[in-house]
Amino acid sequence: MASHIEILAILTSAVFIVWLFRKLHLPAILAYLVAGMLVGEHGLAFAHEHVDYEHFAELGIVFLLFTLGLEFSLPKLMAMRHLVLAVGCLQVVLSLICFTIISLFFGQSFGSALVIGGVIALSSTAIVIRQLSESGAMKRKSGQIAVAVLLFQDVAVVPLLIIIPLLAPSTEGSMIIALFAALIKGVFVVGILLAAGKWILPRLFNLVAQVRTDELFVLTTLLVTLVASALTQWFGLSMALGAFLAGMMLGESQYKHQLEADIRPYRDILLGLFFVTVGMKLDINVLVSSPLTIVSLVVGLMLLKVVVIRILAVKAGEQGKDAWAAGIMLAQMGEFGFVLIALATQVNVLPLDVASLLIGAGILSMAVTPFMVDNARNWGKWLANEQKTDHEDLQAFKELEVNTELKEHVIICGFGRIGQTVSRFLKQEGIDFVAIDMDPLRTRKAREAGENVLFGSSRQTELLEAAKLSTAKLVVIAFGEDKQSIEVIRKVRSLSPNVPILVRTRNDDQLDKLQAAGADQVVPESLEGSLMLVSQVLSLSGVPFSHIVKRVQKERKSHYSHLHGFFQGEHTDMSPDAMDRIEFANAVNLTGHSYAVGRNLQSLNLATRRVTVVALRRAGFETEQPDENTILLADDTLIIRGKPRRVERVERFMHEGG
């Protein structure tokens, strides 16, 4: 009974704290750590025997390393080898050495100091990559430096997972001999797994895929991961190493994305449990008794990492502003640091009070990371004492200004495939344009071909002014990333309140937000694709072309009203984020006892409940958008559209009233 109460306490605190942290836009990792602190023996003491949970929690690390192996790309590593080796490799080595020496100076044993150095040398791949993706900074030079460093750090985790158990006090014999033995075992295990990956696994997954059973595919994925982990553990190495190798073998297969999707739910749940168990080990008394130590540790580790990365990036030939920005992005501790802390305390290499200090420092550093990543570029420019405008951007515009006098032109923000397609049609009609793009290679190649393209961010005032926004007749935003598009719309509107803005978006999730930001026209790809398909269907069905054009134009003017809302299916995304943006269509079947029977639509006033009446089906006939004076009868079917929760509430209201 006690164990059930402990599990209930863990789940309750995790659910509540994860919800609270997501509302505050803080990483879920921090929420799990805080939940562990709350229920652990140093908190409210709801869960005492956390060792029992660690066996399950370790599987979270196994699945995390498996997905890391799936995402590991040797070609990508080779393509970025200059930055990976010149910045990433040296950053890990130098940071590890510096923090190890500092730890030895403060009286730590060699094993403990080495673990501290390894933990602090790593940064948070999950948080940094997510922030870079959301802000669109991945393509900037500073973002590329950060990705290269994170790429090497992820690889560096594997040898650290092997070395830490060899540092245990119970380990007999020479450390060098133990490392040599581990190396031989590692080579042998890697050979076995690579052979299995080349000759056995492809045939196995082909057979499983032919059965077309999702459950069997999931079970096979779990089996392969756990067998590889058990094999490396049997040879005295880390389970996580086997999982990483299994993922790496399957990373180049055609099943990569399906494997990742299948393993994610198990990984996320068990990884959450792992971070809860780490949080349980955090002694709050240590934090309360030494807040200055924690703050000093956080500030010290972040400053040193920023300086190391800045020096290495500049020596590798990068600009000062990009070097500073990359260092600021990677200043925090990472999720793999907690993995190393858990392993080190488990084998008695790291004292519990030191582990608590490191976990506390990690939580604080990760909590401020989103803010630091968002401001890294501006801080990098300030530290490098550079002007906001890139000289390359201004030089590019000077060259452009000589060739073309821009007036009544179109500005294209984003010169990817869609932006280039737009530009080709503009050229055919003799309409001038200037494009702005963040990709340096694409910009250079486009300029060499004589295209009017500026390099930089469309959110920069200087670039929009350089593109002569004041005399432009249209701005086309072709990113397809809604968050970036909204920022560009606001910037354009602040500089030119009246210029028409056309925005491309992938679907209609953020249609209202884009229009509220100032977009005149929003073109959702998925809905436009549906309209084109409908046009072809109607044309092949014999409907006159003029009638088709009128229907399509009417649909666009009504903001795709007929294309919003759909009947949910078994695989419809019902996640919290999706529930806030999608619309469902739902059929409400009225019975003789329903509250709505005998009342007209106007008296029900469904518009105030924020749902739309799509159609009324009665006696086999369907009427679209029925008149508000229509009185509802028993056996009527009313089809409504709206957000899932609103639809549920309206259906209950129509049956029960109130």
| DSSP code per residue over 600-639 | BHHHHTGGGGT-EEEEEEETTEEEES--TTPBP-TT-EEE
Q: Report whether 294 contacts 361 (CB < 8 A).
A: yes
The token pair at 50 is: 């956390």
Q: Report whether 340 contacts 159 (CB < 8 A).
A: no
Per the CATH hierarchy, to which homologous superfamily does domain 391-519 belong? Answer: NAD(P)-binding Rossmann-like Domain (3.40.50.720)
Greater confidence (378 vs 172) lies with 378
Which residue shows structure tokens 């196994």?
62
DSSP assignment of 96-113: HHHHHHHHHHTT--HHHH
Q: Report whether 133 contacts 99 (CB < 8 A).
A: no
Beta pairing class for 410-413 and 433-437 = parallel
Looking at residue 90, its amino acid is L
pTM check: above 0.75: no
What topology does CATH give the domain 2-383? Na+/H+ antiporter like fold (1.20.1530)
Structure confidence at residue 318 (pLDDT)? 84
Greater confidence (109 vs 564) lies with 109
Output 165-168 pairs: Cβ under 8 A, ≥24 positions apart. 165/238, 165/343, 165/347, 167/110, 167/111, 167/114, 167/115, 167/344, 167/347, 167/349, 168/111, 168/347, 168/348, 168/349
Q: Report whether 466 contacts 442 (CB < 8 A).
A: no
d(CA 503, CA 516): 12
Q: Which of 234, 108, 115 is nearest to 165 (CA)?
A: 115
The token pair at 25 is: 């836009």
CA angle 534, 536, 538 (to 5 degrees): 65
Q: Report whether 32 contacts 11 (CB < 8 A).
A: no
Q: Which helix (H) or strand (E) holds 588?
A: strand 584-589
d(CA 485, CA 450): 26
Structure confidence at residue 484 (pLDDT)? 84
Phi and psi dihedrals of 593, rounded to 5?
-100, 0
> In which band, very low, low, confident or very high, does the pLDDT at 567 lie, cut at 50, 70 and 90?
low
- Poorest-pLDDT segment among 257-271, 397-411, 437-451: 397-411
Q: Look at residue 115 and tell me whether its pLDDT is greater than 70.
A: yes
> In which band, very low, low, confident or very high, does the pLDDT at 102 lie, cut at 50, 70 and 90?
very high
Structure confidence at residue 173 (pLDDT)? 57
Greater confidence (204 vs 51) lies with 204
Q: Report whether 345 contacts 15 (CB < 8 A).
A: no
125-138 tens-digit pLDDT: 777 876 776 666 66
Structure confidence at residue 489 (pLDDT)? 93
* E strands in 331-458: 410-413, 433-437, 453-455
Which residue shows structure tokens 């950053």?
91
Q: Look at residue 266 and tell me whether its pLDDT is greater than 50.
A: yes
For the chain, state the CA radius of gyration.
29
Domain boundaries of the chain, sorted by first residue: 2-383, 391-519, 576-656
**Which parts of 106-252 fold into alpha helices (H)?**
110-121, 125-135, 141-166, 175-199, 201-211, 214-234, 239-250
The overall average pLDDT reported for the chain is 80
- What are 505's strand-pairing partners? 480, 524
CA 271, chain centre distance (Å): 16
Q: How far is CA 512 from CA 306, 481, 521, 528, 583, in A?
A: 40, 15, 11, 17, 13
Q: Report whether 99 contacts 301 (CB < 8 A).
A: yes
Q: Look at residue 476 and tell me whether its pLDDT is greater than 90.
A: yes
Q: Report whether 22 contacts 361 (CB < 8 A).
A: no
Report the pLDDT averaged over residues 232-239: 76
d(CA 113, CA 59): 27
Report the pLDDT averaged over residues 64-82: 70
Report the pLDDT averaged over residues 61-89: 74
Residue 415's CB: how many other CB atoms inside 10 A?
24
Structure confidence at residue 398 (pLDDT)? 47
Looking at residue 157, its amino acid is V
The token pair at 426 is: 């503009």
CA angle 490, 496, 498 (to 5 degrees): 100
Q: How many residues belong to the chain?
A: 658
CA atoms within 13 A on the CB side of 342: 24
- Dihedral of CA 62/68/74/77: which sign? negative
Which residue shows structure tokens 């670039």?
463
Q: Which of 63, 115, 37 is nearest to 277 (CA)?
A: 37
d(CA 448, CA 394): 17
Domain at 576-656: CATH code: 3.30.70.1450
Q: Look at residue 343 and tell me whether its pLDDT is greater than 90.
A: no
d(CA 157, CA 88): 13
* pLDDT over 70 percentage in the chain: 84
Spatial neighbors of 503 by CB under 8 A, at least 6 apart, are 476, 477, 485, 489, 514, 519, 521, 522, 523
Q: Report whether 564 contacts 641 (CB < 8 A).
A: yes
Q: Report whether 47 contacts 9 (CB < 8 A).
A: yes
* pLDDT over 90 percentage in the chain: 11
Q: Which of 247, 229, 216 is nearest to 68 (CA)?
A: 247
Q: Look at residue 416 and tell me whether its pLDDT is greater than 80.
A: yes
